[in-house]
Amino acid sequence: MKLKKKLVGLVAVSAMALSGALISTAHAADPIKIGEINHYKRLAAFAGPYKKGIELALEEVNGAGGVLDRPLEFIFRDDQGKPGEAVKIAEELMERDGAVMLTGTILSNIGLAISSLAAEKKYLYLAAEPLADAIVWAKGNDYTFRLRASTHMQASMLAEAAAATDAKTYATIAPNYAYGKDAVAAFKKALTALKPDVEFVTEQWPALFKIDAGAEVQAIERAKPDAIYNVTFGGDLAKFVREGTTRGLFDGRNVYGLLTGEPEYLDPLKDEAPEGWTVTGYPWYDFEDGDNKTFVDAYMAKFDERPGIGSLVGYMTVQSIAAGITKAGATDTDSLVAAFKGLDVDTPVGKIHFRKQDHQATMGAFVGTTALKDGAGVIVDWSYKDGADYLPSDEEVAKLRPASQ
């Protein structure tokens, strides 16, 4: 009887040990959850390819064993393009869904809202796509990092090209919100630094996605500028291009377009795409070898469609998060924030670096000239500009960032 009781006890202990081991193993395999907030319905043309870029990268990361021996999982939420809804979703992702950090957003006003919440809640936010300079400078905080080349960086690349011409007078047109305002301010600052005698003769500020293209074109034409700096995108860009072409606004003028060369915005124009504009964009069709080509081939093989710049940003978002968590060796906020400061990430465009001084990544941009090829808009004579070459010094950053940071 004693032997029987002893055997029963050993079996029970073994069962408990096995159960504990299984629970431990299951816990170790729990996914690392990332909260992804974006405008999937409102900006589907950009957010769709962005999401697919994330999915491709997740497949690769998890296929290679995940991060810290755990699968990486994104929780995708649609904010309907509303800052209040985005903040509400962010709180749910943090407090209810177990996300260890937040990422995403395209529109800068929404990115700024989530950034403010991240600072308040002390929660890491990787601003994948919003471009307003305020995100890392005037309204920067310890918990917000940004991946994409900012308005300052891309505007400075275009200003560099503009300064090499004889144009003296400029008109600008940009959507009247954070991104547009920062993009115009950055271009004016960069161009006047390179060429002090230039003059800005008119600035047009249409409401986002509510442009009255005919009126805007007339206002610019009345000012008779030598050159035009355009920051409109999406449906606003299409209307501006069509109205401007019809009225001859672009004839004999240099035009510089922030984002205009991105497939998400250039493709819908088809054979109406403007020719001869100097733009930032994404020449996915021109890569012949290297990591850019590898990414494009993998994307097209998986989705049977061309990638956009959003696809690349989504892919690099996952790469950055995986690299950050790996470097941190943990998923708590303090460890993640420390890891992202000075983080290096290998990407299709080469190694990028998240600067400690302002949390801006050095991802660059492709700059080229618009042209028509086979009835569609493309960019030619392009080159990749390293973002590190278009960022302010530590001394300048100290003046731009809040004193408390």
One domain, residues 143 and 193: no
Structural domain boundaries enclosing 216: 152-284+366-389
Kindly state whether residue 2 falls inside one of the protein's structural domains: no
One domain, residues 128 and 162: no
Nearest CA among 332, 334, 336, 311 for reference residue 323:
336
Kindly state whether residue 25 falls inside one of the protein's structural domains: no
- Dump pLDDT digits (tens) for 170-191: 999 999 998 999 999 999 999 9
- Dump pLDDT digits (tens) for 116-149: 999 999 999 999 999 999 999 999 999 999 999 9
One domain, residues 147 and 127: yes
Q: What is the CATH number of the domain that holds 161?
A: 3.40.50.2300
One domain, residues 134 and 122: yes
Q: What string of DSSP letters covers 11-49? A: HHHHHHHHHHHHHHHHHHTS-EEEEEEE-TTTTHHHHHH
Structure tokens given for 60:
């690769």
Q: Identify the helix (H) or strand (E) that includes residue 188.
A: helix 178-194
- Residue 23: band (very low, low, confident or very high) from pLDDT cuts 50, 70, 90: very low
Question: In the 8-state DSSP scheme, what is residue 52?
Answer: H
Kindly state whether residue 330 falls inside one of the protein's structural domains: yes
One domain, residues 246 and 384: yes
Q: How far is CA 140 from the centre of its chain?
A: 16
One domain, residues 145 and 88: yes
Q: Total structural domains in the chain?
A: 2
Query: Looking at per-residue confidence, does 402 or 276 come out higher?
Result: 276
One domain, residues 105 and 189: no
One domain, residues 226 and 358: no
Say if residues 366 and 382 touch (Cβ distance below 8 Å).
Answer: yes
Q: How far is CA 118 from the centre of its chain?
A: 18
Nearest CA among 208, 211, 210, 216 for reference residue 183:
208
- Dump pLDDT digits (tens) for 361-405: 999 999 999 999 999 999 999 999 999 999 999 999 999 998 655
- Dump pLDDT digits (tens) for 28-82: 589 999 999 999 999 898 999 999 999 999 999 999 999 999 999 999 999 999 9
One domain, residues 349 and 250: no
E strands, 205-356, are 227-230, 254-261, 278-281, 344-347, 350-353
Kindly state whether residue 212 falls inside one of the protein's structural domains: yes
One domain, residues 379 and 236: yes
Q: Around Cβ 55, how many Cβ atoms within 10 Å? A: 19
Please list, in sequence order, all residues whose beta carbon lies within 8 angstroms of the beta carbon of residue 137, skipping any fewer than 6 positions away: 358, 397, 400, 401
One domain, residues 348 and 385: no
